[in-house]
Amino acid sequence: MQSTPNPSAIPTSACKILIVEDEYIIANDLEIILHDAGYPVIGIANSFAKALALIEQQRPDMVLLDIYLKGIETGIDLAKQLEEINIPFIYVSANDNQSVLEAVKATQPSGYIVKPFREKDVLTALEIGRYRHSHGVELNLREEKALQIALTDALSDSENWENKLLTTAKLLQKHIPFDFLTIRHQRPDTTHTFNFYRIGFDEYQILSVQAIQQMTNLRSDFQLLPLDNFIQKGPARYSGEGLNTLYQQDPYIQFLAKTFRLESALVMPFTFGNGERFIICFLNRNSEPYQSRHQALLERLEQPLLLTLERVLAYEEIARLSEKLKQENSYLQEEVKTLLNFEEIIGRSESLLHIFSLVTQVAPTDTTVLLMGESGTGKELIARAIHNQSSRKEKILVKINCATLPANLIESELFGHEKGAFTGAFEKRIGKFELAQGGTIFLDEIGELPLELQSKLLRVLQEKEIERIGGKTPIKTDVRVIAATNRNLEEEVKEGRFRMDLFFRLATFPLTLPPLRERKEDIPLLAHFFARKLAQKQKKPFLGFSDLVLSELTNYTWPGNIRELENVIEQAVILNNGQTLLALGRPLQKRSFALNPPLSQTENSKVHGQFTFSPPKDLPEMKQMQQATEREYILTVLKQTNGRIRGAGGAAELLNLRPTTLEYRMEKMGIRKTLTVQPPGS
């Protein structure tokens, strides 16, 4: 950095001076002294207005300023204007009033000449004033450079964003006064985040709109406006009536300003090429603390900060994508170990071909699919077929079995968690929904999902966003959901174990997979497929099945469906010597569940807890089905609460409805007239 030239080396002819004095004799004496010393005088003004006019016509390098002038405004008022435009000034006054002197000191003059004065007093004060201003400019440049370096270091640090922004706020406070500071951040794929600072008390808070709603009477429909409403370039000052302009751009700032009695603001927007935005808003209880020098400082810092932030955000995006790729790779390696023992769907029965037709129609869409049917009917294979025929086939298919995870781990598995979110959370982890971004997630055994997580899954389906455990900002998701169950979800809804709204959201396109006993013509095909594959794996020849064995396989009811058939064939291959036709390792008719005659589909559903679900033919039928299910659901909850609607533990609370809303629905459905609730102990 080049040093500022010594003012003593600069000729007096290069320092233009304006005299602001309402006494003609004193002004004339000053002009003569300055002229003799070689200082050019650009004019003499006896009032605030005339001084501003001369300054606008020809900017002086120094102003000699009397305190009391003609008119209402004083020299102190003019000094504030000079400070705004960074013109040094020296007071010339005989006033020794203590309150006036305090006001004089607040304007930070370059000197003070006491009337009556000598020529030496004036010239010495001028020399000292020029020196102080020159070195003040150099000091400011050095401090500004140090600030720029410190901000770059803070934003580039490996700390999390909370600590980065807190450090940034503390650094800025030394140069721009504020009582409160807000930083808003918006990415194209996420909702707004809002950071709120009270540095004056060494406090740091992050407040969401929801948190403010809980703390105050802020209306529930209040939302942050998009940052597009803000000015696009450069910092702007707001005070007095001008605050209304800011309030229109951001009602949240208006709320904070009224709550904490803030009178002024200085706003600085940062906009990046990828659509990402930051807006820093300095708020102050004083009406006019922000001057043009503060605004100019932010203007000079804008480009360095933009470059730093763009680099930091780019590095973070690379790290995020690398972590996601690492997680995907780890997941796929685990999937390779746990893949089913067959890679394709085998069969040509009419019922299976009908399923293929439906899969072909629904696969190209993003519609949520619910796969229903008994265990072992191939629901995961159908899910893979839907994914592989969709536009998301180049992305990952993530599978999670809701029945195999402990209830306290399912939320973390689905949505992820932040470091330190709970005991044992030693590092940040992304959930399966983030892992499946752009692809498909297969939620197997969805009927086992705990009730408390069903509401969160419903929010994901409705709002297309998730939130990590311990996280503070929602994350937008673009994931196709395929769910599967072997439970009768309609019965689960009636019993209050599954949310009705989630059921209808999942059952947008229901598919019921036929059990193996209804696909008898496919059994020989499947048996041959398994036998060849397993014999090859065990390095044995496969000579085929006898007619008797094929007949026995075809006539068996297969409660375990395809999975059971595969197990039986594997046992037969293990026991076969490779020189004879494959025989079953055990007589199927001797197995306990095979002693009874084959069950009808309805009877089997009752025995094994399975069900079939016929999709409605049209919209009225769907509406009728939904109303009937809702009525049964409300009746079940009312019976649990002994008919009590209001209060803690009442039906309205359990259903997450307002009591008046529930009463209206009950009246519409005729529940009040038909419901009879037994009193306790009856």
pLDDT tens sequence across 338-351: 443 334 678 888 88
Structure token pair of residue 468: 């990590």
413 within some domain: no
3-state class percentages of the chain: helix first, strand second, coil last, to nearest 5: 50, 15, 35
Q: Which residues contact 361 (CB under 8 A, 6 or more apart)?
A: none
For residue 340, is it within any domain?
Answer: no
The pLDDT score that the predictor gives to residue 511 is 92
51 and 166 together in one domain: no
What are the angstrom distances between the C-alpha of 424 and each of 326, 335, 404? 21, 25, 20
Give the pLDDT confidence score for residue 202 in this predicted structure. 61
Number of domains the chain contains: 5
- What's the CATH code of the domain at 508? 3.40.50.300
**54 lies in the same domain as 126:** yes
Residue 599: CATH number of its domain: 1.10.8.60
Find tokens 């020809």 and name the residue. Answer: 58
Give the end-to-end CA distance of the chain in Å, rounded to a whole number. 92
pLDDT (tens digit per residue) in 300-351: 888 888 888 777 777 777 777 777 677 666 656 555 444 433 346 788 888 8
3-state SS class at 479: coil
453, part of any domain: no
Assigned token pair, 102: 């305090």
The CATH number of residue 162's host domain is: 3.30.450.40
Task: Give the model's pLDDT for residue 366.
Answer: 92
Q: Which of 490, 512, 534 is at the close of a domain?
A: 512
Last residue of a domain, one of 561, 585, 608: 608
For residues 566-586, one letter each, b for 16 or more C-beta atoms within 10 angstroms of the residue's C-beta and e for the rest, the string is bebbbebbeebeeeeebebee
* Residue 83 Cα to chain centre, angstroms: 43
Cα separation, 36 vs 38, whole angstroms: 5
Task: Examine the fold and report which residue of 269, 300, 315 is the final residue of a domain before the chain moves on.
Answer: 315
Tokens found for residue 72: 């209402």
The DSSP string of 171-199 is: HHHTTS--SEEEEEEE-TTS--EEEEEEG
Rounded to two decimals, what is the model's pTM?
A: 0.49
Q: Is 434 contained in some domain?
A: yes
* Judgement on whether residues 376 and 492 belong to the same structural domain of the protein: yes
pLDDT (0 to 100) of residue 135? 74
* Regions of the chain with pLDDT less than 50: 1-5, 7-8, 336-343, 590-613, 615, 673-682
> Do 486 and 375 belong to one domain?
yes
Do 381 and 490 belong to one domain? yes
Q: What is the pLDDT of residue 609?
A: 39
Q: Would residue 528 count as lying in a domain?
A: yes
Q: Verify that 204 and 311 share a domain, yes or no.
A: yes
Domain membership flag for residue 409: no
Instruction: Report which of 394, 381, 583, 605 is spatially closest to residue 490, judged by C-alpha positions.
Output: 605
Closest Cα partner for 394 from 321, 458, 480? 480
One domain for residues 524 and 586: yes
Specify the pLDDT at position 625: 65
- For residue 337, being part of any structural domain is answered with no
Q: What CATH number has the domain bearing residue 101? A: 3.40.50.2300
Whether residue 289 is found in the same domain as residue 363: no
Is 146 part of a structural domain of the chain?
no
Looking at the structure, do residues 371 and 280 belong to the same domain, yes or no? no
d(CA 242, CA 269): 17
| 69: Cα separation from own chain's centroid | 58
**Beta strands 193-198; 180-186: pairing state:** antiparallel
Neighbour count for residue 491 (Cβ, 10 Å): 14
User: In this structure, are residues 266 and 287 in contact, taking their beta carbons and an 8 Å threshold?
Assistant: no
The answer to whether residues 666 and 589 belong to one domain is no
Give the three-state DSSP class for 485: strand
Range of the domain at 289: 157-315
Same domain, 127 and 190: no
CA angle 271-279-188, nearest 5°?
Answer: 55
The answer to whether 582 and 552 have CB atoms below 8 angstroms apart is no
In terms of domains, do 64 and 95 share one? yes
Q: Where are the beta strands (DSSP E) in 83-192?
A: 89-93, 111-114, 180-186
